Amino acid sequence: MRDPQVLLEDKPGDKHLLLGNEAVARGALEAGVHVVAVYPGTPASEIGDTIAQISEDAGIYMEYSTNEKVALEVAAGASLAGARALTAMKMVGLNVASDTLITLAYTGVRGGFVTVSADDPNCFSSQNEQDNRYYALLANIPCLEPSNPQEAREMLLSAFEISEELELPVMLRMVTRVSHTRGIVTFGYIKKREVGSFVRDPERFVMVPANSRRRHPVLLEKMKLASKIAERSTYNTILGTGTLGLITSGVSYNYCVEALRLIGVSAKVLKLGMTYPLPVDLISKFLQSVHKAVVVEELEPFLEVQVKAIAQEAAKDVEVFGKLKGFFPRDGEFSTEIVAQGLSKILGKNLGSSFEIVENKAAQANRVAPPRPPMLCPGCPHMASFHAIKVATEGKAIVSTDIGCYTLGYQPPLSVGDVMISMGASVGIAAGLTKVTGDPVIGVVGDSTFFHASIPGLINAAYNNHRFVYVVLDNMATAMTGHQPHPGTGLTAMGKATKRIMIEDIARACGIDFVKVVDPFQFENAVSAMKEATRHTGPAVVVFRGPCVEVKSRQRAAADQSVPV
């Protein structure tokens, strides 16, 4: 965003072109949020990054926490003390945070508490394409799904209202196409909210089994109230007329509107904005009013399975079509073409020439656009580190790598990286490999990822004496997601200097006896440190420290305005 200060303007009615994520940031201001805690991850990162730039002026406390679980807990603590609190993460982040989220639903919250989950159909920047609406179902918390930036802002405000009405966490489920779409957003008032205080209630907040047993039915009762909210929610709305009924939600609604226009069919559309719990009565009546129903949703048949169950009770004669019968894919991102194709098959309709024009244009664009696979930047210290690893191990080591810019090292010509599953997994997987293979094993992790999820694995390696070298690529930034600071940078999200936590100190404190810090561009030193580490009889840690080139060039540019950024 050109000037995030725009978000601070208290001019209700003003319209601005915002990213979906920036609209969430504005929504947070309007909702009177006091505490924001996030861990970055695409496609959610701009929520935290935008708030970080204005938090001080907005009177919001904002932090990048060490991981999503911690972020959710910081926000939860603030909420339990009576403040409105927001956390945001990419969808896999919620896997990390889910342990706390699921039991937080039992205790409930005090100040409004919203967790934004930004899902990534098509894995544009993720290791899987999980559908996090299932977390709402699993945790028993309400879920709202915006279809554009304006709705993202509005729904965030509503999510806080619902959260306070039910004293429950609420999920705002975005997808890449909403987070990263720009749209006109109309501003509302910026609310100043009084913060409450922490009121002791151990039977509610201390989740020992006896208390959990009592809280579970309370949660189930709250979800009955949530169902009533869903029935009257203006986000669940019927548009258009006809005997063909489309049930859709979030971003898929946009594809439905365009696909119907493209194939020249009119339909009655039930657009769901609150997708958990579902408005069962509304859906029942909708099904009774159509001859045929089609559920259009990306990824999993989350709505479809529930709609089918509702149809079984309320409208047995209405056939429900969707992805379970193979009319729409269960993977990847939807498009107008995909939805038009599915609908035309269901309706036995020929798509016609206007569709071919659109399809041909897309194919043409794909042919013309050169492929642009991601690659490491020229001068990236990771390249030197990978080279040192390769030379020292003569390319014979099995490398358990991790998530960050350095994952790209798995590609030729570097080819350093044989396994990569999830953030922080490199250390545990390396340990497991050593128990079976006779080949040397190397673990590779980035600095932010080290702080995020590697430390228990490192303690485990020391405790169980797993023999491998754990290489920490410390480029002093969370580079991949936008160079956010982390505990090893000595800077906070709000730009304040703070205690710098040294990776080597942590490694030693975890019980690792061999710890070396090397500049990867001091190539001979780097190779000899790696060789020495591989000879060590227990787990060894080598920290390759060299700043990210992007950060370095920004710093230079800031120091010397004549250098172009």
Ligand X SMILES: Cc1ncc(C[n+]2csc(CCOP(=O)(O)OP(=O)(O)O)c2C)c(N)n1
Residue ranges in contact with ligand X by CB under 6 A? 39-41, 90, 92-93, 96, 403-406, 423, 446-449, 475, 477-481
4 vs 546, which CB is nearer to ligand X? 546
Q: Which of 439, 434, 426 is nearest to 397 (CA)?
A: 439
108 or 428: CB nearest ligand X: 428
Smallest separation (angstroms) from ligand X to the CB of 309: 32
Is 164 in contact with 153 (CB distance < 8 Å)? Answer: no
Could you give the C-alpha distances from 100 to 68, 174, 315, 373, 402, in angstroms and in order? 10, 21, 39, 37, 24
**Least separation, in Å, of the C-beta of 171 and ligand X?**
16
| Token pair of 490 as six digits | 């000595």
Smallest distance from ligand X to CB 96, Å: 5
Q: Which is nearer to ligand X, 148 or 401 (CB)?
A: 401
Q: At its nearest, how many Å lie between ligand X and the CB of residue 138?
A: 17
- Buried/exposed 172-195: b ≥16 CB within 10 Å, e otherwise: bbbbbbbbbbebebebbebeeeee
- At which residue do the structure tokens 């508490």 appear? 113
First and final CA of the chain: distance in angstroms? Answer: 16
Please give the angle made by the CA atoms of 31, 34 and 36, to the nearest 5 degrees.
Answer: 95
Question: Toward ligand X, which CB reaches closer, 39 or 106?
Answer: 39
The 3-state DSSP class for residue 255 equals helix
> What's the Cα-to-Cα distance from 542 to each of 12, 118, 405, 406, 446, rounded to whole Å?
54, 34, 18, 15, 12
Query: For residues 72 and 295, which CB has a smaller minimum distance to ligand X in the complex?
Result: 72
Q: Where are any strands of DSSP class E within 83-150?
A: 85-90, 113-119, 143-144
Query: Which residue, among 508, 518, 511, has the nearest Cα to 542 in the 3D structure?
Result: 518
Instruction: Name 118's bridge partners.
Output: 90, 174
Q: Rounded to whole angstroms, how far apart are CA atoms 441 and 493? A: 36
Q: Which two tokens stand for residue 389?
A: 């690893």
Separation of alpha carbons 538 and 536, rounded Å: 6
Nearer Cβ to ligand X (339/480): 480
Q: CB nearer to ligand X: give 274 or 299.
A: 299
> Which one, 110 or 452, has the nearer CB to ligand X?
452
> Of 39 and 468, which has the nearer Cβ to ligand X?
39
Q: Which of 340, 345, 341, 339 is nearest to 298 (CA)?
A: 339
Say how far apart CA 556 and CA 550 lie, in whole Å. 10
Strand 292-296 to 244-249 pairing: parallel
Pick 148 or 407: Cβ nearer ligand X: 407
In angstroms, what is the minimal distance from the CB of 194 to ligand X? 34
Q: Between residues 117 and 481, which has the closer beta carbon with respect to ligand X? A: 481
Residue 63 or 154: the one with the smaller Cβ distance to ligand X is: 63
Q: State yes or no: cis peptide before 209, omega within 30 of 0.
A: no
CB of 442 to ligand X, least distance (A): 16
Structure tokens at 339: 């939805």
Strands 15-19 and 182-186: antiparallel
Concatenated DSSP letters of 409-424: GGSTTT---SB--STT
Q: How far is the CB of 384 from ligand X (least distance, A)?
A: 13
| Sheet with strand 170-175: strands edge to edge | 61-64, 35-38, 85-90, 113-119, 170-175, 143-144, 274-276
Nearest CB to ligand X, comparing residues 4 and 485: 485
List, in order, residues 6 or more apart from 516 with CB less than 8 Å away. Answer: 529, 532, 533, 540, 541, 542, 543
Least distance from C-beta 371 to ligand X, angstroms? 22
- Closest approach, Cβ 161 to ligand X, in A, equals 29
> Nearest distance from residue 119's CB to ligand X, in Å?
13
CB of 213 to ligand X, least distance (A): 31
CB of 279 or CB of 546, closer to ligand X: 546
CB of 478 to ligand X, least distance (A): 4
Q: Which residue minimizes CB distance to ligand X?
A: 446
Smallest gap, in angstroms, from Cβ of residue 257 to ligand X? 32
- Please say whether the dihedral angle defined by the alpha carbons of residues 335, 341, 347 and 349, taken in this order, is positive or negative: positive
Confirm if 336 and 177 have CB atoms less than 8 A apart: no
Please report how close the Cβ of residue 446 comes to ligand X at its closest, in angstroms. Answer: 2
Contact 241, 217 (CB under 8 A): no
